[in-house]
Structure 1
Amino acid sequence: MRVPLSWLREYVDLPAGETGRDVAARLVRAGLEVETVEQLGADLKGPIVVGEVLSIEELAGFKKPIRHCFVNVGDANGTGEPQEIVCGATNFAVGDKVVVVLPGAVLPGPFPIAARQTYGHTSAGMICSTRELGMGDDHGGILVLESHLEPGTDAIELLQLVDEVLDIAVTPDRGYCLSMRGVAREAAAAYGLPLADPALLDVPPANADGYPVKVADPAGCDRFVARTVAGVDPSAQSPIWLQRRLQKSGIRPISLTVDITNYVMLEVGQPLHAYDRERVNGPILVRRAEEGEKLTTLDGVERKLSVEDVLICDNSGPIGLAGVMGGASTEILDPAAGPGTTEVIIEAAHFDPISVARTAKRHKLPSEASKRFERGVDPDAARAAAQRAVDLLVLIAGGTAEAGVTDIAAPHPLRTIQIAADLPDRVAGTEYGRETVTRRLQEIGCTVIGADVLEVTPPTWRPDLTDPYDLAEEVIRLEGYDNVPARMPTVPPGRGLTEVQRFHRRTGVALAGAGYVEVINYPFIGESLLDALGLDADDERRRTVKLVNPLNDEEPSLRTSLVPGLLGALRRNVGRGNTDLALFETGTVFLPKAEQKIAPRLPVDRRPVEEELAALDAALPNQPRRVAVALAGERLPSGWWGKGGASCWADAIEAARTVARAANVELTVRQSQLAPWHPGRCAELAVGDRVVGYAGELHPRVIKALNLPERTSVMELDLDLLFADGAQRVSGPTVSSYPVATQDVALIVDSAVPAAEVEAALREGAGELLESIRLFDVFTGEQAGEGKKSLAYSLRFRATDRTLTADEASAARESAVAAAAARTGAVLRGA
């Protein structure tokens, strides 16, 4: 909302020395967002006066029209003689009043003006267009003024060329500030001055002689005011003061009737629409659109209407989109193109904000009217706005206001809010007092009664005030947020990080120490990405939590896995030339419950009780925390020392072991199959009998679908399950000073037997003396036998209190082999 300071002073008697920046500072302190203060005419310097064209000589022999003019500028030039000026514009004639810039003046730019010789004549000044005066971008010709103006009149003051304009970013809850009336109310409260409300007009009551109107949809239109003006002079032009106020407010003047409706909208905040009465066919009807109806709007576009659109209709059908834009069939006629409009119907209505917002969005047709309706318009301002438009038409266009007044209004029950008088004190942590609270609420238009508990009735232009805390916020902002004391909160004695937090930090530090780089991705996912991962239709990871209002229509759900986002980050890095990558991410995934409940609305005037918090938790999806890694390119870099090593599935499994060590658990790795991993290079990660994640190389089809590097490997683990299985505190290893006894064993097993199962059996059979076990060789071939494989393990035995004898080490080895034979059918190789 652009607010000219000169216009604002009509409603609030601001101190004479107050500048635009001073006013902006006060409004910002009151909670408005003043983005800029534009200085109009700051580099303008006179003399700039009104001139009367006395004669025009057309100069021939030039490539473009050139005119040698004599202009009467009164005594502004010091001699009273006509001013000689050469001009290239042709849209003015002898007798016209124009704006003349005399030598010594400076135009915006800055552009100094001096007398000079041009086209064989002396040009002592300049006849100006609106753009040269800084009034707008129109450079179609010379600005022609009203005929009654006296030559020599100061044009700077006449055209209001010097002014300050405040550009205010109006937030959605302060729609009343999309008007001079609303901003003036804020300025009056900020300065403690009275407000001259432009909506306080004497308006005749409704009567039966008004233009016939029927509202068939009270939910979409709860108020409709219609007034009629006859005998309007179609050739009447908008006066300079009206045009200038529109221009400063960012609206282009069009014609007198349209300019008046725009002016009143800016002044009072009530959008208006004007109809040519001679083109309206019968009574006006407000209703919803019917299937298949169409309307050609004022912009000349034929629009297919929705059954949700509220329409203004006559006997011929739709003549306007309610609250958005009028129809072309009843628009005010331009007198330059025909006889012009002489009888005008003024519409001032109040439409449902949601309906208007949806209609404007559906038709991609934002307008100044819809911008105001969707933020909330004062329904009680309709009568005053219609009266103001009628008065201006009568005053400027010589029309006659007809006695008939149409005012159809649905009942509006008053909203009363009870608020404790000390609530603003408790919210802000300071003391305002009941008198201050009452005064500030009355300044914004509320009716206040009561003592300790106030009964407050918000004004009709503040639909955003619905809660006691809304009223408390109004008091606090008007008293000044800078006056709210800043106190450090009392912090209870700290207990440090929780064990879960310590574990999460250890996980990140461990992976970073292993050469991984942490990334953070958006938690959104779409069906197309799940398809690319090759997930089956009944895969649990396809059961997602859908967002009501997603940021991206292609990703309308919350993630059920960290892998998709991590692969997206890896693909973006590869596309930017980073080919050797090791990325990791920790974060929550969102798993819907079998029966999803609706979240309750928690109170704001107290702390929620345990039952309310439990109901809120029950409505949330399960959100386990996970960790995932993705690798591509070289894990060990190549260099002068030799060829490096490419990352593979084994690195992804080792990353899982790194996380498991941070959780103080032993990870079991066994072969598995699960999308999106390669069926022959996928490992299931378990702690005991519980599966906690998967790791391995991606399926080639997934790599192709997502355009990833070959042999890309990923791993994903459930950190909550790891923490539940691990010790809450990580303890250091037991160190023995006695020597180690190493025993190797090679076992023949069926090819289908997992090596992890053989290792578990050996570990169980070896007993407490076993310090570590390592698989160092896997062999298949004729020597192993058909359908068999040889697994060679290195077993390290050590005691904490003595040196083991050879017999003790051999006995432990034999026990381990026996356990493996019993559980897996293993046979000692060479036996």
Structure 2
Amino acid sequence: MRAPIEWLRELAEVDPRAKGADVAASLVRVGLEEEDIFGGEITGPLVVGKVLERTPEEQKNGKTINWCQVDVGAANGTGEPQGIVCGAHNFDVGDLVAVILPGGVLPGNFEISARKTYGHVSAGMICSAMELGLGEDHDGIIVLTEYFADRSETLTDLTPGDDLIPVFGLDAETVEVNVTPDRGYCFSMRGIAREYALSQGTPFVDPADLTVAEATGAGYEVRLSDDAPVDGVPGCDRYVARIVRGIDATASSPEWMQRRLTEVGMRPISLAVDVTNYVMMLLGQPLHAFDLDTLSGAIEVRRARAGETLKTLDDVERTLDPTDLLITDGGTTPLAIAGVMGGETSEVTESTVDVLVEAAHFDPVSVARSARRHRLATEASKRFERGVDPAVTAAAAQMAVDLLMEHGGGTADATATDVGTPAASSSITLDPQLPTQYIGLDYPRDEVVASLTAIGCAVSDEGESLLVTPPTWRPDLVDGPDLVEEVARVRGYDQIPSVVPRASAGRGLTHEQRARRVVARTLAATGLVEVLSYPFTSSQRHDDLGYAADDARRESVRLANPLQDEAPLMRTSILDTLLDTLRRNVSRGQRDVGLYEIGLVTAGGVTPLPVPPGGVRPDAETLARITGGVPAQPRHVAIAAAGAALPAGPHGPARAVDPTDVVGWTRALGAAIGVELGVEAAQRTPFHPGRCVAVTLPGGAVVGHAGELHPKVCSRLELPERTVAAELDLDAIVAASGEPVRPAQLSTQPVANTDVALVVDEGVPAAAVAAALGSGAGEDLESITLFDVYRGDQVGEGRKSLAYRLTFRAGRTLKTDEVSGLRDRAVAAATSATGAQQR
């Protein structure tokens, strides 16, 4: 919202010396956000000029220019007439015009200088309204006698050479305020001025305080017929209709009104439109003007019917939704989408004689939904969405009627229509100690009462408590904390000290948080790069990854309003989105890429949930049903890599990443938080059936899978061949971890190594053999390492030889026969469990 300071002076006491920055600082002090400060873009000399000579000269291109001699007084330093070339023709000798001389600067940092054009040296420019930023008119230059026709006293004082910058108000500044959603009343000069007066502790002049014509039953008939209110709230709870007859719709808006509309960022259009816009910017109440002759019946406010359409003022035919609130002619013909935009059929045109002025109070939710549904963000909808003061409706209509009569020459009907009764503001019981408790500063009871009264609340004593009734323009004040914020901002947010809280002893990160950080650091230390991807995917991605029709990962939550229509589903696997990130990096020339992501997945679909009534807290059973119906969202960690695991160098050629790398990374993250993850052969999409392992907890529970992606998956996703990946349930791994990993104590005893080679069937996993050896070797076994795998004639077809090194260490020096005995026990256990035979 732009607030011209000169307009602000009419509604609040502003120090004559105050600049835009001072006003902005005062508004910031009471919680409004400064966006920008406009004004002062034009620098002089911009002066009054009197045309002494005008000589038309036709050019070779057929264009006629005027070579003018203009009296600019002493502004040019010589007092001699100024020679200026002008292409406009709407002036004559003797006219007073606006002249900017060399050295002056127009909006857009356009500097004026003397230059040769059309065979003359033109020393300056005779300006149009558009060139000075005073409007859109650029068909001709400004003739001051016409421009200030309604300000004769201004013309009397003007002589050649006088400075025009203050006369046009071009030295005036405008402060732009960023209005937050809870401060809808500040989308008006009335609201901005109220806040400025509050910051200064000075009086406020309410522009809505005017005499309003009394409504009678003989006014234009209006019916409020909302048969489908949103959440039980009627779409329109007050509608004021006033009629002005016999206006001249072609009459121009007064210069002061056009200037003010331009200052607040609106374009003057016509008298009726400018009047409604002016009142809206002053009072915050959007208005609409209907051509009365186009109406055939009563005004009826109702919901749209299936199949109805309306051609709005932006020349777009819109199909209406049954939840759209409409203004209709006799209940049959749609005239406007309530609070958003009017239709073409009842638009005020140059032939309009009689006007019906509408001022109404519409439900913010209903207007917001219609505006978003039709993608119509208008000045009216922007205000209705945030809440318009229902008490100002009649005053806004009266002001519009008065302005139309004054500048359009019409007469108002003696009757008026005012139907509907807005809901009264609910009172709030407030403990006067609450501001002190919340803010941490001392706010005496008297200050609390004075602050709430200053913002417009009605405050009365209720024993130890206060009964506070918010003003009609503050629908955002609904409870005690809201009032606490008001008390704090009236004194000033700058009065609240910034104190860094001190953490109590024994507090800090939870075990889960520490474990997740350890996992992230461990993976980063291996050379992987952490990324974050949007958790949205599609059924096409499920197809690309080869999920079966009955795969549980296809059961996903569908978003009602997705960011992209191509990705409407919540991911059930991080690989759904992480592989896109890998592909994007590879496609941009990054050949060797290793990525990891820690994030949430959504498991399963959404069950039907109960919809509790608004305004009250749901009971325990309803809350339990809602909580139980929300799908689980476990935290996973996923890895994806392609290219070289070890680049080429002096040590030798590059080594491509393979499944053993990704398995190693998964086991490393488990070891970092004290969980020894196991692996066993498995088959699971999207992995290669022969190069995939299931990652297990010590108890055998599967927490994820790792391996090489299936060639078809790589092809469909445009990934490099032999891309490897893994995905683990991080929540399950963290839950299995105990205290943080502590370094093992070093032993001074020597180790004893012994090797064993076992022949097993090809289908027996090496991990199963190692586990069996470990179970039989006893507690003195320190480690088992697989160092060789042999397949060949010596072991027979369908068989393989696995060579392990067993390392033992005890609290004493082990003897050879003890180590041999431990080895034999280990082999026996492996033979019993896997059928292994020692070579």
- Confirm or deny: 8 A CA contact 2:39 2:170 kept in the other structure: no
Amino acid at match of 2:407: I
Give 1:96 shift: 10
Counterpart position of 1:258: 273
User: Could you give the per-residue CA deviations for residues 511-559 of structure 1, whole angstroms, max 9, x where no partner exists?
Assistant: 3333333334444444443333222343333444566665445445554
> SS state of the match for residue 389, structure 1?
helix
**2:195 corresponds to 1:186:** yes
- Confirm or deny: 8 A CA contact 2:42 2:105 kept in the other structure: no
Amino acid at match of 1:89: A
Q: Which moved more, 1:596-605 or 1:729-738?
A: 596-605
Amino acid at match of 2:17: G
CA distance in 2, matches of 1:377, 1:343: 27
- Confirm or deny: 8 A CA contact 2:44 2:101 kept in the other structure: no
CA distance in 2, matches of 1:246, 1:646: 68
Give 1:37 shift: 1.1
User: Judging changes above 3 Å, is the alpha-carbon distance between structure 1 residues 449 and 60 closer, same or farther for their aligned structure 2 residues?
Assistant: same
Counterpart position of 1:290: 305
Counterpart position of 1:815: 825
User: Could you give the per-residue CA deviations for residues 538-592 of structure 1, whole angstroms, max 9, x where no partner exists?
Assistant: 3333444566665445445554433334323322322332222233333444446
User: Could you give the per-residue CA deviations for residues 619-648 of structure 1, whole angstroms, max 9, x where no partner exists?
Assistant: 765454443322211111112332121110
Q: Which aligned pairs between 1:171-210 and structure 2 lie closer than 5 A?
A: 171-210=180-219
> SS state of the match for residue 142, structure 1?
coil
Q: Which aligned pairs between 1:741-780 and structure 2 lie closer than 5 A?
A: 741-780=752-791
Q: Which moved more, 1:276-285 or 1:440-449?
A: 276-285
**2:529 corresponds to 1:513:** no
CA distance in 1, matches of 2:594, 2:75: 80
**2:31 corresponds to 1:21:** no
CA distance in 1, matches of 2:120, 2:522: 87
CA distance in 1, matches of 2:727, 2:100: 79
CA distance in 1, matches of 2:114, 2:830: 110
Counterpart position of 2:369: 358
CA distance in 2, matches of 1:65, 1:724: 87
Amino acid at match of 2:325: V
CA distance in 1, matches of 2:747, 2:726: 35
User: Judging changes above 3 Å, is the alpha-carbon distance between structure 1 residues 717 and 12 closer, same or farther for their aligned structure 2 residues?
Assistant: same
Q: Which moved more, 1:224-233 or 1:625-634?
A: 625-634
Amino acid at match of 2:825: S
Give 1:598 shift: 7.7
Give 1:485 shift: 2.8
TM-score normalised to the size of structure 1?
0.89
CA distance in 2, matches of 1:786, 1:116: 99
User: Judging changes above 3 Å, is the alpha-carbon distance between structure 1 residues 71 and 676 closer, same or farther for their aligned structure 2 residues?
Assistant: same
> SS state of the match for residue 515, structure 1?
coil
User: Judging changes above 3 Å, is the alpha-carbon distance between structure 1 residues 351 and 613 closer, same or farther for their aligned structure 2 residues?
Assistant: closer
Give 1:299 shift: 2.0
Give 1:198 shift: 0.6
> SS state of the match for residue 791, structure 1?
strand
- Confirm or deny: 8 A CA contact 2:48 2:72 kept in the other structure: no
Counterpart position of 1:679: 689
User: Judging changes above 3 Å, is the alpha-carbon distance between structure 1 residues 755 and 613 closer, same or farther for their aligned structure 2 residues?
Assistant: same
User: Judging changes above 3 Å, is the alpha-carbon distance between structure 1 residues 735 and 132 closer, same or farther for their aligned structure 2 residues?
Assistant: closer
> SS state of the match for residue 328, structure 1?
coil
CA distance in 2, matches of 1:72, 1:212: 60
CA distance in 2, matches of 1:78, 1:512: 73
> SS state of the match for residue 679, structure 1?
strand
The root-mean-square deviation of aligned C-alpha atoms, in Å, is 3.6
User: Judging changes above 3 Å, is the alpha-carbon distance between structure 1 residues 652 and 180 closer, same or farther for their aligned structure 2 residues?
Assistant: same
Gaps of 5+ in 1: 335-339
> SS state of the match for residue 460, structure 1?
coil
> SS state of the match for residue 163, structure 1?
coil
Counterpart position of 1:337: none
Q: Which moved more, 1:707-716 or 1:146-155?
A: 146-155
Gaps of 5+ in 2: 228-233
Counterpart position of 1:233: 248
- Confirm or deny: 8 A CA contact 1:107 1:132 kept in the other structure: no
> SS state of the match for residue 39, structure 2?
strand
**2:97 corresponds to 1:87:** no
Counterpart position of 1:463: 475
> SS state of the match for residue 662, structure 2?
helix
Counterpart position of 2:230: none
CA distance in 1, matches of 2:355, 2:85: 43
Counterpart position of 1:60: 58
Report the count of equivalent residues.
818
> SS state of the match for residue 279, structure 2?
helix
User: Judging changes above 3 Å, is the alpha-carbon distance between structure 1 residues 279 and 816 closer, same or farther for their aligned structure 2 residues?
Assistant: same
> SS state of the match for residue 394, structure 1?
helix
User: Could you give the per-residue CA deviations for residues 313-371 of structure 1, whole angstroms, max 9, x where no partner exists?
Assistant: 2257122222111111221213xxxxx22211111111222222222222222211111
Q: Which aligned pairs between 1:30-49 and structure 2 lie closer than 5 A?
A: 30-40=30-40, 42-48=42-48
- Confirm or deny: 8 A CA contact 1:73 1:152 kept in the other structure: no
Give 1:405 shift: 0.3
Alignment partner for residue 217 of structure 1, among 201, 226, 236? 226
Give 1:494 shift: 3.6
**2:546 corresponds to 1:534:** yes
Q: Which aligned pairs between 1:268-667 and structure 2 lie closer than 5 A?
A: 268-315=283-330, 317-334=333-350, 340-450=351-461, 452-494=464-506, 499-544=511-556, 550-591=562-603, 622-667=632-677
> SS state of the match for residue 421, structure 1?
coil
Give 1:98 shift: 5.8
- Confirm or deny: 8 A CA contact 1:130 1:136 kept in the other structure: yes
Give 1:80 shift: 12
Give 1:121 shift: 7.9
- Confirm or deny: 8 A CA contact 1:588 1:623 kept in the other structure: yes
Q: Which moved more, 1:728-737 or 1:817-826?
A: 728-737
Amino acid at match of 2:104: V
Counterpart position of 1:161: 170
CA distance in 2, matches of 1:504, 1:13: 58
Give 1:406 shift: 0.8
> SS state of the match for residue 643, structure 1?
coil
User: Could you give the per-residue CA deviations for residues 784-823 of structure 1, whole angstroms, max 9, x where no partner exists?
Assistant: 3343333232333444312322x33332222222222222
CA distance in 2, matches of 1:104, 1:734: 87
Q: Which moved more, 1:273-282 or 1:247-256?
A: 273-282
CA distance in 1, matches of 2:293, 2:739: 85
Give 1:225 shift: 0.8
CA distance in 2, matches of 1:209, 1:98: 52
CA distance in 2, matches of 1:351, 1:119: 59
User: Could you give the per-residue CA deviations for residues 238-297 of structure 1, whole angstroms, max 9, x where no partner exists?
Assistant: 111111001111111111111111111101111111112122223222222222222222
Q: Which moved more, 1:534-543 or 1:629-638?
A: 534-543
User: Judging changes above 3 Å, is the alpha-carbon distance between structure 1 residues 783 and 346 closer, same or farther for their aligned structure 2 residues?
Assistant: same
